[in-house]
Amino acid sequence: MERHFDEELKLLKQKLLVTADTAQEMIGLAVKSLVDRKEEPAKQVFTLEEKVNRLEIEIENEVLRLIARHQPAAGDLRLLTATLKINNDLERVADQTCNISETALYLLKEPPMKVIADIAHMASLAQKMIRDSIEAFVRHDSALAQKVCADDDQVDKSRDKMFSELLAAMIKDPSLITRGVELILVGRNIERTADHATNIGEEVIFIEQGKNIKHHIQEEDREA
């Protein structure tokens, strides 16, 4: 039975990886729609959101079923409830990408703006943070999780830069105000996706530290 539980846990993690892959793909598509001024990627985001919503419910039910059926010990239980939280974070990343896609579709009807290039950079940082945070979770890699939390500063810096550039552009040319505000909100959306990756990273650190404190000696034995 122990082995069976491990296999089910592995399948669950794979499902979480699929959700994470989809969520970070959605960030890319939403921003592509904005940068390339095309409808198609934004529409793909809305389709993928349904997939993420389905996966979220599947993962949640699976976690509850595993807890109820196997009544896991403290460490595995912590892992399963962390899965619930991470699952939730990923679903909210998907939500944010829908907001970006809606803005992209709206901005398609307006003349293009220059500052959009920075958004692409910020988005690629956020995508990497999502990938790294899930990898940190799956591989129990708290060093990588620490890196994710540190990377968040870069996203914040990128957002601040974009923010002040947009403000300056708007002050110089008030006809840019509406579009400028929309782009500031997109910047905020991307920042939120990075925040969710940071939440996941902190969760990983919390689990691994908890493990280290609780089972310090056993862990060392196992690693030796």
Decide if residue 54 touches a second copy (CB under 8 A).
Answer: no
Decide if residue 205 touches a second copy (CB under 8 A).
Answer: no
Residue 105 in contact with residue 128, Cβ under 8 Å? no
Q: Count the residues of the shown chain that bind a second copy, applying the rule CB under 8 A.
A: 28
> Which positions ≥6 away from 69 have C-beta within 8 Å?
none
CA 44 to chain centre: 18
Site string for a second copy, 125-164 (x = CB under 8 A): ----------------------------------------
Figure out which of the listed residues 53, 61, 209, 212 binds a second copy, where binding follows CB under 8 A.
Answer: 61
DSSP assignment of 116-144 equals HHHHHHHHHHHHHHHHHHHHHHHTT-HHH
SS3 100: helix
Distance CA 186, CA 202 (A): 24
Q: Minimum CB separation from a second copy for residue 40, in Å?
A: 27
Figure out which of the listed residues 1, 68, 143, 213 binds a second copy, where binding follows CB under 8 A.
Answer: 68
Rounded to a whole number of angstroms, the CA Rg of the chain reads 20
Decide if residue 14 touches a second copy (CB under 8 A).
Answer: no
Residues near a second copy (CB under 8 A): 60-61, 63-65, 67-68, 71, 73-74, 77-78, 81, 84-85, 88, 167, 170-171, 174, 177-178, 181, 184-185, 188, 217, 221
